[in-house]
């Protein structure tokens, strides 16, 4: 019974999954080398938002060395320590704030000082989690791991694509160690919440979305509150847009979410229906954690104390699968994934369990 | 006969015996008088209550998780520490004798024995080297601290205690030896008392101290050792924080696996591949963690493998047959000592054989090693002969049996392994008898088997080491083989393909073909081909619409069924499929792709297509919402199907809803597939499920009611119990989670657990470690956390040890023992200056903590350390120079030191002055614009602007007019970084392990090289010549004087020039008067003379007295000198005696060998 070693320098290739690879590298303090970044593309190399992310990571950390090859198709990151503190970053308009916030949510609890990050750019788009979902869904997931006091995301201004102009402030406390998760009871959906917002257009749009969404969801549950979030003037960004983000919370605190954003030529009712149905799909997938948050939860489970953490989730997404493989390469932790004996045989629910690495926030100072 | 179960004892229920027993119990009950202990007054009761509560609190400690498993804990490390000649080896031998009834001749390295049903002990003797003491202090669970009772405490003892203190205090039992040398009973009592008092102040009041009287038969008296072993047996250990977060191992064996040829070619200087063996301790050891061997350095683990326990705990079986297994239980594992006739060295195995190498000497019991040697004599033919005779075929299809060629083929591995296995079996078998032969091992020869010399025997073992060494205890082997079988199944994607292909056929039989993963995002979209056609063809399709929902639901269910049946762990971790392929519905095609990616043109084209489609491979967290995907949700039926997931829906709604689908599937191929797969649970009967659910609900309700009704306060626990309960619960989960997983998978998921005996293969080990290997120096393999692998600036809180005589100076090298490591680095000391800045200190303050910052490998905050100036044994005095704790880790440091820039004014207007000589250029001035400046007399000011003319001059304003003679200074802070110097203490690599030399101080280097300190002329102190200042007299104009009021007018008097009245008169005395004056004068003169004479006499007396005192003093000195001489003579004799004793032992041993 023998297992062989992994080397201390990690190498990956391809531009995919860049974010979690960088996060894993910084958390594990292992140098990462990523090559063949769009090397076969007509427009090879890193995109502007990826460079911006690297810059943001450099600013949040102390002593990080990032080397980008001349063509931009390979990077080498020698991670420093996660410093935290007050940081302001201007995000490019090609990706929304969610793209930048997601990796930082995994890093911030293990910083030296509490992070106070101000990000400027697009708050909601159709590629990444919107600021609303991060505030209402992602942050509660962190609370499962004992990261709660002082955890906050303030949406100062909203910004829709293409011009953005939004601003969010992310405050994250530091912890010594993430708590071990044991979350296997998905429970039943007890409430549905939602935020509909419309900027630089008629506020009537959000009301129309709410109404359409209720037409689908009302049949299930009476406890539905869909807020119409209004931002005026300067706070509403530079471009018009609207979106509906929904979340369903279960009796045990499991949250599923879905979101749909405005597209040109689509009625707000259609957007609302899309969001509502996407939520129903998420709910049907079951588990305690929805698809978008699998990686965050798994990451924190890996970083937990040296105990067995368990979580019930649906089928892994491609991102999650690659994440699990990368975690194995960086931390040497593998998950045990077995089907959950769910009462309803129709759903794919798996129990992910792992033995935490006992990651302790070494950056935290005692003095 | 033996395996028939014994009848359990049944106590008699009636009769005289039963009566007697009953009475006995009753009597005891009777004797307890409750009233006797009742408090007499309320006040007293209150006092007693308070006292009890306080005592209760002292019992509590912060709850800590114990990571060591209860069922199979690693042996407890008991270190025997003390100065040389105090009796450590004797104690070790006595204890080993006590536990195993075996006498060790030569104790080297750790010795593991079974001490109880669930307890094992590893004894290790620590030599007098400070490096060893540090390493042992880091791994010992219990320290037997030996003190020479006839001599008292020695410096090393105190040093060791300080080392222990800074690395988490393990349990310590003091042992006083050599008490037989004190002859007088009163002195003995006094000595014991004094030593105990000192020991208690050092450890804690009431620390255990043992007294060992003289040596009998080379051992301590059996009763005393028995008592000591009992104390060791009941010792409870609290987990220490550092050890509870790091895996570690105390190597009890070391082996060099480097190919001989490579060593020969490189003259023995090539890096070695080394395996170390030992019990894992601390936390789980995972692959990928780096390890540090103190004294060697950071090393990469090439592989870890679990071995059978060489010193297993008695299992339940042997416990039952206690009498029979009495001998078996007395196991000992000490590879570096001479147990069982075998001594493992770094590169050879030595076997002791009694008498001569003749056969037929069967009456002499044979140990493991002897048997091996005897067996070797049986070989009548060479290996080549045997192979040529053998009929082994490598493959079933090969026509010729295997032939022995000139060189070894790699294919021969298989039978090599077999051979080795056989060897191991023999070892196994002989294990049981090993203690038999051992009492007669006193006068045996040592026989050196060099691996190169005896080819036939050694080849298998020597080369076989390149592969894993598999020790096959029965249990282990079973698992191994079963695991191997599975490994073959999954490691190859080809075989995978076969299996999944079967599955696939089953699905095709079912009827609907799946859309493959042409589009990555389509994993969710699982409509059949017909549906897709219908979608694209026309809008009408009412029948399509009608069963859309049910189809969707059906396909979803099928999808999920299949997903549930997947072996996710294998797919994710041991297949080379891309994530998309794993998720795609039908993995068979994909497997083909990934199985031969090189020759598949289709594959490359596809990837190009993917590149064109940019949106899909971006790192996005939200799935794209496609309206078409959600069409199915327009159906009421589908919407209703998930009602059960909401609190408003009934619990069994979904179950029912799905029930009929399941029935539909019942006819398909699903059933047998499921039956074949035993990981999948059998479909539950809905009735039974409902009943079970109801029962569970009832149970929960009943429990809740019971809790509330029976004991409303009982469920409420205090914080302490709650925490402990929580820890226990988590440990329970940890145990339960991986219980049924096979060991290989388990090691992959949770690492190797503490308590397992492992073999760690280390690559690139410096050759000196092997060349200069000495088993008396402990080898500790400490696992590093990911954070500890990197380097940075470490800020620590440090305090110079009060017994260390010199102060510590900034930028002087210091040796730290921090975490597992020992290293030399250059600290900078600092103090927090009003919470504004970290200000550098030149020297550590007296009796006070300060900060130190150094460059080195980081350790987690709150890790303790101790520091030394020198580790050498010749260093005088107390060697622990400082202790402290890690506070902070960073990549930069913020230490500043004061910098004073001075200048002088060269032109002064009212409150403005032009200052020169502070800066050299206008640019420098620009940098300091607005900075605060000050004169020596305390007038504050500000730098304004650079002036054009003299370079570096500037205009400054002050709060008052400054003088030309004032010196103006600017106080600035200059930031400094510690030097990036890190020098690990590689003591284990030296041939003389105590003589490690680190970086020397400049002064030391100069002294040794005979260089003079360079003297800067400007740095020499010269006499300061101060010109006396002359002030001009104050002149007040006449006019002004006239206008001043009288009080302010200068009052200058002319000296008197007239004679006074008395001066003008002459005095003439009367004759009477003259006489009187003359008489008075005479009397005074007489008196003077008298006083002078008296003083003279007194001086004489004093001188005499002084001479007398001096004489006495001289006599006293003489006496003292004599006394000291006598003392030194006795001490010298003692040390000489000791030396002789040591030498005598050695020479005796030598005699024996001859």
Closest Cα in chain A to B734: A308
pLDDT of residue B500: 38
Residues B417, B472: Cα–Cα separation, whole Å: 12
- Confidence label for B801 from pLDDT (cuts 50, 70 and 90): very high
Listed by number, the residues of chain B in 251-290 with a beta carbon closer than 8 Å to a beta carbon of chain A are 283-284, 286-290
Output the six-digit token pair for B1151.
């005699």
The reply to whether residue B245 touches residue A347, judged by beta carbons under 8 angstroms, is: no
Output the six-digit token pair for B426.
């023999």
Report whether pLDDT(B735) > 90.
no
Residues A268, B434: Cα–Cα separation, whole Å: 85
Phi, psi of B968 (to 5 degrees): -105, 130
pLDDT of residue B334: 82
Of 3.30.1490.100, 3.30.360.20, 3.40.50.11540, 3.30.70.141, the CATH number of A189-285 is 3.30.360.20
Report whether pLDDT(A86) > 80.
yes
What integer best gives the mean pLDDT of chain A?
A: 90
pLDDT of residue B651: 55
Helices (H), B5-154: 16-31, 42-59, 88-100, 130-139
For residue B928, the distance in angstroms to the closest alpha carbon of chain A comes to: 27
Report whether pLDDT(B305) > 80.
yes
The reply to whether residue B633 touches residue A277, judged by beta carbons under 8 angstroms, is: yes
pLDDT of residue B319: 53
Give contacts of A338 with chain B, Cβ < 8 Å: 568-569, 679
Q: Is the model more confident about B403 or about B58?
A: B58
For range A340-364, the mean pLDDT: 81
pLDDT digits (tens, 9 = 90+) for B250-289: 998 888 889 989 999 998 889 999 999 999 999 999 888 8
The reply to whether residue A347 touches residue B560, judged by beta carbons under 8 angstroms, is: yes
Residues B1115, B474: Cα–Cα separation, whole Å: 83
Among the partner-chain residues A129, A364, A367, the one whose CB lies closest to the CB of B621 is A129
For chain A, the domains span 10-183+290-355, 189-285
pLDDT digits (tens, 9 = 90+) for B76-111: 999 999 999 899 999 999 999 888 888 888 888 899
Contacts of A345 (CB under 8 A, 6+ apart): B557, B561, B658, B662, B683
Report whether pLDDT(B1080) > 60.
yes
Residue B694 near chain A (CB below 8 Å):
no
Phi, psi of B277 (to 5 degrees): -120, 145
Of 3.40.50.2000, 3.30.1360.120, 3.40.50.300, 1.10.10.10, the CATH number of B58-239 is 3.40.50.300
| pLDDT above 70 as % of chain B | 70
Report whether pLDDT(B622) > 60.
yes
User: Does the interface ipTM go beyond 0.85?
Assistant: yes
Report whether pLDDT(B393) > 60.
no
Among the partner-chain residues A315, A354, A367, the one whose CB lies closest to the CB of B749 is A354
pLDDT of residue B931: 96
For range A271-285, the mean pLDDT: 91
Output the six-digit token pair for B150.
């006839």
pLDDT digits (tens, 9 = 90+) for B321-376: 544 355 555 667 888 776 666 666 656 666 655 544 455 445 545 566 666 666 76
How many interchain CB pairs under 8 A, A with B? 286
The reply to whether residue A321 touches residue B582, judged by beta carbons under 8 angstroms, is: yes
For range B676-687, the mean pLDDT: 49
| pLDDT above 90 as % of chain B | 40
pLDDT of residue A345: 58
Contacts of A288 (CB under 8 A, 6+ apart): A183, A184, A185, A186, A250, A252, A254, A311, A312, A313
Helices (H), B751-817: 767-771
pLDDT digits (tens, 9 = 90+) for A203-256: 899 999 999 999 999 989 999 999 998 888 888 999 999 999 999 999 999 999
DSSP helix/strand/coil, A32: strand
Q: Is the model more confident about A63 or about B428?
A: A63
Pairing of β A336-339 and β B982-984 = unpaired
For residue B751, the distance in angstroms to the closest alpha carbon of chain A comes to: 8
pLDDT of residue B510: 39
Report whether pLDDT(B447) > 60.
no
The reply to whether residue A28 touches residue B786, judged by beta carbons under 8 angstroms, is: yes
For residue A201, the distance in angstroms to the closest alpha carbon of chain B comes to: 23
Among the partner-chain residues B65, B885, B889, the one whose CB lies closest to the CB of A362 is B889
- Confidence label for B292 from pLDDT (cuts 50, 70 and 90): very high
Residues B134, B871: Cα–Cα separation, whole Å: 10
Closest Cα in chain A to B885: A366
- Please determine, looking at this structure, whether the domain spanning A10-183+290-355 carries the CATH number 3.65.10.20: yes
Q: Is the model more confident about B776 or about B677?
A: B776
Closest Cα in chain A to B468: A2
pLDDT of residue A105: 95
The reply to whether residue B730 touches residue A307, judged by beta carbons under 8 angstroms, is: yes
For range B1059-1072, the mean pLDDT: 88
For range B829-844, the mean pLDDT: 93
Strand partners, B981: none
Report whether pLDDT(B52) > 60.
yes
The reply to whether residue B573 touches residue A334, judged by beta carbons under 8 angstroms, is: yes
Listed by number, the residues of chain B in 451-510 with a beta carbon closer than 8 Å to a beta carbon of chain A are 468, 479-480, 483
Closest Cα in chain A to B733: A308
Closest Cα in chain A to B608: A40
pLDDT of residue B409: 40
Q: Do domains A10-183+290-355 and A189-285 have the same CATH topology?
A: no
Residues B971, B795: Cα–Cα separation, whole Å: 26
- Confidence label for B1066 from pLDDT (cuts 50, 70 and 90): confident
pLDDT of residue B384: 66
Closest Cα in chain A to B300: A5
User: Mutating which of A78, A362, A365 best tests the B interface, going by the most B Cβ atoms within 10 A?
Assistant: A362
Q: Is the model more confident about B396 or about A242?
A: A242
- Confidence label for B33 from pLDDT (cuts 50, 70 and 90): confident
For range B923-941, the mean pLDDT: 95
For residue A217, the distance in angstroms to the closest alpha carbon of chain B comes to: 10
Report whether pLDDT(A282) > 80.
yes
As annotated, the residues of chain B forming the CATH 3.40.50.300 domain(s) are 58-239
* CA A7 to chain CA centroid, nearest Å: 28
The reply to whether residue A337 touches residue B305, judged by beta carbons under 8 angstroms, is: no
Report whether pLDDT(B145) > 60.
yes
Among the partner-chain residues A29, A62, A338, the one whose CB lies closest to the CB of B890 is A62
pLDDT of residue A342: 58
Output the six-digit token pair for A220.
């299930």
pLDDT of residue A135: 95
Report whether pLDDT(B1145) > 90.
no
pLDDT digits (tens, 9 = 90+) for B626-645: 777 788 788 888 888 888 88
Residue B1026 near chain A (CB below 8 Å):
no
Q: Is the model more confident about A80 or about B21?
A: A80
Q: Are B80 and B308 in contact (CB under 8 A)?
A: no
pLDDT of residue A207: 92
Q: Are B797 and A367 in contact (CB under 8 A)?
A: yes
pLDDT of residue B587: 47
pLDDT of residue B708: 74
Q: Is the model more confident about B988 or about B318?
A: B988
Residues B914, B923: Cα–Cα separation, whole Å: 17
Q: Are B188 and B179 in contact (CB under 8 A)?
A: yes
Report whether pLDDT(B1052) > 80.
no
pLDDT of residue B822: 95
What integer best gives the mean pLDDT of chain B?
A: 77
Which of A289-293, B616-620, B897-901, B1047-1051 has the weakest average pLDDT? B616-620
Closest Cα in chain A to B727: A307
For residue A86, the distance in angstroms to the closest alpha carbon of chain B comes to: 17
For range B455-462, the mean pLDDT: 38
Quick one: which of A70, A68, A56, A60 has its CA closest to A112? A60
- Confidence label for B190 from pLDDT (cuts 50, 70 and 90): very high
Q: Is the model more confident about B497 or about B996?
A: B996
Name all contacts of A201-210 with Cβ < 8 Å and 24+ positions apart. A201/A240, A201/A241, A201/A242, A203/A228, A203/A230, A205/A242, A205/A268, A206/A230, A206/A242, A206/A244, A206/A268, A208/A267, A208/A268, A208/A269, A208/A272, A209/A242, A209/A244, A209/A268, A209/A269, A209/A271, A209/A272, A209/A275, A210/A244, A210/A272
Among the partner-chain residues A15, A112, A324, the one whose CB lies closest to the CB of B572 is A324
The reply to whether residue A221 touches residue B648, judged by beta carbons under 8 angstroms, is: yes
Listed by number, the residues of chain B in 695-754 with a beta carbon closer than 8 Å to a beta carbon of chain A are 730-731, 733-734, 737-738, 741, 743-745, 747-751
pLDDT digits (tens, 9 = 90+) for B936-992: 999 999 999 999 989 999 999 999 999 999 999 999 999 999 999 999 999 999 998
Residue A339 Rama label (left phi>0; alpha psi -120 to 50; beta): beta
Closest Cα in chain A to B658: A346
For residue B708, the distance in angstroms to the closest alpha carbon of chain A comes to: 23
Quick one: which of A93, A1, A17, A23 has its CA closest to A300? A23
Length of chain A (residues): 367
pLDDT digits (tens, 9 = 90+) for A122-162: 999 988 999 999 999 999 999 999 999 999 999 999 999 88
Among the partner-chain residues A40, A222, A315, the one whose CB lies closest to the CB of B611 is A40
pLDDT digits (tens, 9 = 90+) for A298-308: 999 999 988 99
pLDDT digits (tens, 9 = 90+) for B757-793: 999 999 999 999 999 999 999 999 999 988 888 899 9
Supply the angle between the helices B455-464 and B413-431 in degrees, to the nearest 10.
100
The reply to whether residue B288 touches residue A332, judged by beta carbons under 8 angstroms, is: yes
For residue A200, the distance in angstroms to the closest alpha carbon of chain B comes to: 24
The reply to whether residue B795 touches residue A112, judged by beta carbons under 8 angstroms, is: no
pLDDT of residue B312: 82
Report whether pLDDT(B456) > 60.
no
């Amino acid at each position: 019974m023998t297992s062989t070693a992994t080397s201390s320098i990690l190498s990956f290739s391809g531009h995919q999954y860049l974010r979690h690879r960088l996060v894993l590298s910084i958390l594990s303090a292992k140098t990462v080398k990523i090559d063949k970044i769009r090397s076969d593309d007509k427009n090879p190399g890193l995109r502007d938002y990826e460079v911006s992310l690297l810059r943001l990571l450099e600013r949040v950390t102390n002593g990080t060395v990032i080397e980008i090859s001349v063509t931009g198709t390979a990077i080498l990151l020698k991670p420093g320590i996660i410093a935290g503190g007050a940081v302001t970053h201007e995000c490019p308009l090609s990706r929304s704030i969610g793209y930048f916030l997601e990796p930082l949510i995994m890093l911030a609890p293990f910083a030296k000082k509490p992070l106070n990050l101000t990000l400027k750019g697009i708050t909601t788009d159709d590629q990444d989690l919107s600021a609303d979902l991060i505030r209402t869904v992602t942050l509660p997931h962190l609370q499962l791991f004992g990261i709660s006091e002082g955890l906050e995301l303030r949406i100062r201004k909203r910004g829709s694509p293409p011009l953005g102009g939004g601003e969010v402030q992310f405050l994250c406390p530091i912890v010594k160690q993430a708590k071990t998760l044991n979350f296997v009871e998905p429970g039943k959906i007890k409430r549905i919440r939602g935020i509909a917002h419309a900027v630089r257009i008629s506020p009537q749009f959000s009301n129309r979305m709410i109404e359409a969404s209720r037409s689908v969801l009302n049949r299930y549950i009476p406890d539905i509150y869909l807020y119409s979030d209004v931002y005026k003037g300067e706070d509403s960004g530079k471009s018009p847009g609207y979106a509906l983000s929904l979340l369903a919370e279960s009796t045990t605190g499991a949250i599923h979410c879905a979101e749909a954003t405005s597209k040109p030529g689509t009625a707000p009712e259609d957007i609302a229906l899309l969001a509502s149905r996407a939520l129903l799909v998420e709910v049907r997938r079951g588990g305690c954690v929805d698809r978008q948050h699998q990686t965050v939860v798994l990451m924190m489970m890996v970083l937990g104390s040296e105990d067995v953490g368990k979580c019930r989730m649906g089928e892994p997404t491609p991102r999650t699968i690659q994440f699990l493989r990368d975690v194995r390469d960086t931390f040497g932790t593998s998950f045990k994934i077995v089907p959950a004996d769910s009462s309803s045989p129709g759903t794919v629910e798996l129990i992910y369990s792992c033995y935490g690495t006992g990651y302790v926030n070494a950056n935290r100072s005692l003095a | 006969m033996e395996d028939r179960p014994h009848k359990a004892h049944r106590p008699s229920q009636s009769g005289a015996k039963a009566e007697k027993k009953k009475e006995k119990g009753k009597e005891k009950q009777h004797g307890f008088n409750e009233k006797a202990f009742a408090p007499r007054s309320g006040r007293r009761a209150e006092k007693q209550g308070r006292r009890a509560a306080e005592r209760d609190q002292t019992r509590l400690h912060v709850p800590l998780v114990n990571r060591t498993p209860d069922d199979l804990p690693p042996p407890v490390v008991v270190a025997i520490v003390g100065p040389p000649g105090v009796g450590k080896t004797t104690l070790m031998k006595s204890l080993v004798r006590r536990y195993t009834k075996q006498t060790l001749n030569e104790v080297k390295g750790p010795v593991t024995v079974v001490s109880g049903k669930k307890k094992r002990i590893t004894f290790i003797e620590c030599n007098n080297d400070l490096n060893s003491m540090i390493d042992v202090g880091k791994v010992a669970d219990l320290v037997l601290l030996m003190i020479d009772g006839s001599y008292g405490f020695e410096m090393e003892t105190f040093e060791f205690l300080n080392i222990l203190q800074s690395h988490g205090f393990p349990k310590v039992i003091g042992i006083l030896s050599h008490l037989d040398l004190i002859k007088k009973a009163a002195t003995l009592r006094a000595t014991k008392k004094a030593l105990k008092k000192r020991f208690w102040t050092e450890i804690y009041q009431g620390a255990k101290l043992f007294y060992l009287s003289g040596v009998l038969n080379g051992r301590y008296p059996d009763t005393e050792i028995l008592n000591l072993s009992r104390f060791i047996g009941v010792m409870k250990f609290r987990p220490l924080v550092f050890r509870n977060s790091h895996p570690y191992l105390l190597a009890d064996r070391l082996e060099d696996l480097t190919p001989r040829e490579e060593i020969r070619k490189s003259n023995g200087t090539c890096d070695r591949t080394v395996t170390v063996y030992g019990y894992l301790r601390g936390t789980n050891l995972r692959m990928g963690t780096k390890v540090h061997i103190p004294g060697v350095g950071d090393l990469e683990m090439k592989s870890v493998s679990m071995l059978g326990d060489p010193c297993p705990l008695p299992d339940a079986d042997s416990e039952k047959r206690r009498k029979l297994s009495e001998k078996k239980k007395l196991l000992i594992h000490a590879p570096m000592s001479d147990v069982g006739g075998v001594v493992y060295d770094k590169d050879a195995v030595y076997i002791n054989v009694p008498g001569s190498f003749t056969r037929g000497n069967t009456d002499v019991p044979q140990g493991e090693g002897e048997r091996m040697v005897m067996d070797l004599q049986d070989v009548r033919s060479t290996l080549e002969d045997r192979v040529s005779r053998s009929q082994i075929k490598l493959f079933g299809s090969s026509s010729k049996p295997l032939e022995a060629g000139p060189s070894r083929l790699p294919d021969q591995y298989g039978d090599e392994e077999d051979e080795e296995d056989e060897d191991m079996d023999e070892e196994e078998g002989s294990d049981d008898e090993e203690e038999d032969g051992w009492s007669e091992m006193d006068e045996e020869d040592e026989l050196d088997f060099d691996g190169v010399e005896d080819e036939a025997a050694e080849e298998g073992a020597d080369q076989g080491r390149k592969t894993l060494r598999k020790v096959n205890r029965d249990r282990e082997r079973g698992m191994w083989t079963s695991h191997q079988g599975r490994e073959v199944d999954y490691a190859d994607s080809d075989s995978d393909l076969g299996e999944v292909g079967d599955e696939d056929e089953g699905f095709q039989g079912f009827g609907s073909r799946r859309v493959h993963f042409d589009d990555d995002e389509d994993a969710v979209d699982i409509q059949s081909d017909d549906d897709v056609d219908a979608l694209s063809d026309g809008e009408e399709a009412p029948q399509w619409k009608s069963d859309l929902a049910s189809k969707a639901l059906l396909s979803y269910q099928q999808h999920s069924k299949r997903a549930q049946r997947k072996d996710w762990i294998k797919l994710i971790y041991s297949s080379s499929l891309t994530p998309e392929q794993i998720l795609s519905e039908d993995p068979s095609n994909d497997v083909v792709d990934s199985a031969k990616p090189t020759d598949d043109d289709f594959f490359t084209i596809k990837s190009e297509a993917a590149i064109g489609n940019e949106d899909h491979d971006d790192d996005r967290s939200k799935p794209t919402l496609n309206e078409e995907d959600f069409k199915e949700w327009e159906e009421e039926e589908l919407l209703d199907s998930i009602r059960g997931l909401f609190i408003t829906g009934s619990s069994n709604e979904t179950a029912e809803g799905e029930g009929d689908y399941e029935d539909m599937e019942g006819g398909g191929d699903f059933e047998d597939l499921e039956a074949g797969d035993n990981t999948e649970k059998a479909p539950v009967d809905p009735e039974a499920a409902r009943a079970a659910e109801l029962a569970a609900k009832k149970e929960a309700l009943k429990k809740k009611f019971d809790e509330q009704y029976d004991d409303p306060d009982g469920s409420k626990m205090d914080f302490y119990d709650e925490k402990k309960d929580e820890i226990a619960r988590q440990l329970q989960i940890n145990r339960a989670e991986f219980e049924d997983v096979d060991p290989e998978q388990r090691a992959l998921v949770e690492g190797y657990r503490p308590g397992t005996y492992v073999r760690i293969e280390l690559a690139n080990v410096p050759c000196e470690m092997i060349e200069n290997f000495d088993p008396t120096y402990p080898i500790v393999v400490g696992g590093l956390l990911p954070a500890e692998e990197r380097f940075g600036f470490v800020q620590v809180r440090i305090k110079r040890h009060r017994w260390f005589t010199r102060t510590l100076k900034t930028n002087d090298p210091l040796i730290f023992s921090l975490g597992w490591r020992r290293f030399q680095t250059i600290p900078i000391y600092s103090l927090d200056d009003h919470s504004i800045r970290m200000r550098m200190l030149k020297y550590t303050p007296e009796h006070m903590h300060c900060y130190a910052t150094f460059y080195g490998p980081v350790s987690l905050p709150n890790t303790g350390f101790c520091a030394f100036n020198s580790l050498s044994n010749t260093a005088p005095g107390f060697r622990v120079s400082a202790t402290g704790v890690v506070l902070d880790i960073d990549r930069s440091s913020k230490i500043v030191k004061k910098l004073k820039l001075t200048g002088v004014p060269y032109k002064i207007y009212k409150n403005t002055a032009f200052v020169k000589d502070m800066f050299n250029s206008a640019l420098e001035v620009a940098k300091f614009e607005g900075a605060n400046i000050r004169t020596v007399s305390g007038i504050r000011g500000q730098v304004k602007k650079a002036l054009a003319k003299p370079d570096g001059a500037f205009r400054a304003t002050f709060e008052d007019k400054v003088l030309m003679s004032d010196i103006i200074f600017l106080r600035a802070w200059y930031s400094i970084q510690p030097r990036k110097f890190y020098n690990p203490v590689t003591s284990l690599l030296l041939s003389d392990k105590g003589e490690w030399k680190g970086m020397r101080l400049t002064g030391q280097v100069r002294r040794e090289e005979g260089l003079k300190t360079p003297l800067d002329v400007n740095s020499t102190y010269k006499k300061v010549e101060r010109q006396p200042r002359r002030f001009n007299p104050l002149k007040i104009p006449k006019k002004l004087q006239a206008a001043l009021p009288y009080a302010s007018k200068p009052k200058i008097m002319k000296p008197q020039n007239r004679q006074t009245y008395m001066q003008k008169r002459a005095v003439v005395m009367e004759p009477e008067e003259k006489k009187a004056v003359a008489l008075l004068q005479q009397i005074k003169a007489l008196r003077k003379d008298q006083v002078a004479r008296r003083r003279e006499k007194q001086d004489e007396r004093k001188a005499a007295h002084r001479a007398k005192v001096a004489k006495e003093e001289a006599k006293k000195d003489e006496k003292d000198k004599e006394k000291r001489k006598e003392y030194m003579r006795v001490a010298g004799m003692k040390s000489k005696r000791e030396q002789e004793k040591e030498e005598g032992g050695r020479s005796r041993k030598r005699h024996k060998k001859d």
